[in-house]
Amino acid sequence: MFVLQKNSAAGADVRRSRCRAIIAPLLVASLGGLGLAGCAYRGAEPAMVGMISSDVSERHPIIVQKQPVYLDLEVPRGSSGLTPSQRSAVEAFMARYVHEGESRITLSAPSGSRNETAAFRALPSVRAIARQSGIPGHAISTRPYNARGWRRAPLKISFRHYSAKGPECGFWPDNVAEDHDNLPYQNFGCAQQRNLAAMVANPRDLLGPQATDPRSSERRDVVWGKYIKGETTHAKRSKEEKSGNISEVAR
């Protein structure tokens, strides 16, 4: 038994030496390959590409903000109210406020000018035009402003509305013909955003949908009532509709 143990141990030593002889060159070759791979990686670093958003609204945003709108009326000294052309201008201004107004209407009358009395006489006419346009009285405020030294200080009407400002276009930092990455170029979509800002009827719509009126439920209630009673829910058809004839004239 001891001999067998000695012989088996000797065989194991032989096998270990053979394995070392085979594995050692393989380890050297693999480590050398890794070293070469590391050198190759350091010599060819990947190019860093800047992140360019493909969303046109993010790259070329439209700025929507509230801006004041003014209407100046020159009321000469000694006049008793507005002229016909001034009344037409005020009516158009009030109609614009109904569709675009986002604040109260402010009537600023001059104080200390030579036409101060005439300007205050025109205020009732402006308020009357506003009421005719459907603008409630609580949406109109009146205040004086210092106009000392002015001969014809205007009667000012103003309100605030949303204004849309488009982006500035025409920036071409790169040659589009040599772009091999097929990425959106810097000026892409800018003209579209600028045209949209110029054409939108009410810039408030760019911020979100407006409130809608409630639905008309008269017909729905009639149909639902018939359905509950087990009656026919469709509308009654006339005799002409059933027959398909347009008129009773004989052919």
Indicate the domain borders of the chain: 65-163
Percentages helix, strand, coil for the chain (3-state, rounded to 5) are 45, 15, 40
Which overall architecture, per CATH, does domain 65-163 show? 2-Layer Sandwich (3.30)
Which of 12-21, 93-102, 145-154, 172-181 bottoms out in mean pLDDT, i.e. has the lowest?
Answer: 12-21
Token pair for 95: 């109609």
Report how far residue 38's alpha carbon sits from residue 240's, in angstroms, rounded to the nearest whole number.
90
User: Which band of pLDDT confidence, cut at 50, 70 and 90, is reported for residue 176?
Assistant: confident
Alpha helices of 111-217 — where are they, by DSSP H? 116-132, 190-199
What is the tens place of the pLDDT at every residue in 39-67? 443 444 444 445 566 788 888 999 999 99
Could you tell me the pTM of the whole model? 0.57
Token pair for 86: 């001034």
Exposure of 115 by Cβ count < 10 A (0-12 exposed, 13-18 middle, 19+ buried)? buried
Residue 109 three-state SS: strand
pLDDT (average), residues 66-76: 93
